[in-house]
Structures are given as structure tokens and as C-alpha cells.
Amino acid sequence: MNKSKTPVKAVSIADDVLANKIYEFRVQKVMLDSDLAELYGVETRRLKEQERRNIIRFPQHFMFELNKEEYDSVLRSQNATLEQGHYSKYLPFAFTEHGILMLSNVLKTEQAIKMSIRIIDVFVKLRDLLHVNTKIQLEIAEIKHTVERIARKVLTGSLLNGTKIKKQSLGYTFPVETHP
């Protein structure tokens, strides 16, 4: 049960909103402690408190503290203008996919467990999209290579035969209409 003075409401969030809370730092996809606290229905300080109490469960590849430049880049992406004093004086922690799972185990709330499952599903979807995108890029490169090879053969063949290649115009040609 949350014993804080300000109650934290349960959150229902769409997958695309969750995906927008995933950042990439140090070649890893991560979520920030404040976003996770909001999603888990706890205060950020409680989340950090549990992380500190269970520090052995959070090795460097599960969680790390952002440096000033990384934090500033997050703030710039979230806000066009920053008001002084409205942001935490402490640098946030970034949790990797594994750190997010471990965090839900440490918090042990039903909402944290359910939200972690949703977050991991979004991580998996993002990985699948990346895989599909990579596959499409490879297919495009293969098609481009084939077209270039065919173009070289056509060009080489026509040069050997001594014939000129007629340039074909691109686009549509419209019939000319005559008005009576």
C-alpha cells in the first residue's frame, strides 16, 4: 500500500506511449526511473530507495546513472523550453530491459508486475521492428545491386555493338488536346 501524502494513480497507457518513453543511451534501450515510477504507481524516491536497498540485483548492465549531457538531451527532447527549478537536482537512473524486470521483482506490487510485462512486450515489439527493418534494407540493397549489374550489362552490350542507348523520359506523357 502506498503511504505517501500524495496518492499515485494507476496508469493505463498505450504501447506507442510506452515506446516513446524508451530511450537509447550507451548503445542500450532504457527507461528512466521517473517514467518507471509513474508507470508502476510509486514515487520516484521509493523506486530509487528500493534500488539502493537491493543494489546487488542491479549490475551496471541492468541500470546506470545518466551523465549531465545525456540528461540534458532527454530534457531537450521532452521540452522546448526548460524552467529552472522544475527538474530533479539528481541525475536519473536508466534501467535496461533486464533492470526493468528486476525492479518489478523488488517493488512487488501488482501494478509493477503487470506494467513490467507490458513494457517488456513493447521492448520485444521494438526488437521485431528493428529485425524487419534490417531485413527490408538488405532486400533493397540486393535489388539495387541486381539493377546496377543489369544496367552495366546493357550499357556494355550496347557499347560493344556500337548502338546508342536511347534515353527514355521518366514520368507520364499526356496527350495534347486541341480545342476547336
Positions of the chain with pLDDT lower than 50, given as ranges = 1-11, 80-82, 84-86
Residue 41, CA atoms < 13 Å, CB-side half-sphere: 18
User: Model pTM?
Assistant: 0.58
pLDDT given for residue 87 in this prediction: 56
Cβ count within 10 A of residue 31: 24
What is the spatial distance between Cα 10 and Cα 41, in angstroms, rounded to a whole number? 6
pLDDT given for residue 94 in this prediction: 92
pLDDT given for residue 32 in this prediction: 92
The DSSP H or E segment spanning 25 is strand 22-25
What is the spatial distance between Cα 178 and Cα 46, in angstroms, rounded to a whole number? 80
Q: What are phi and psi of 143, to 5 degrees?
A: -65, -45
What is the spatial distance between Cα 159 and Cα 153, in angstroms, rounded to a whole number? 10
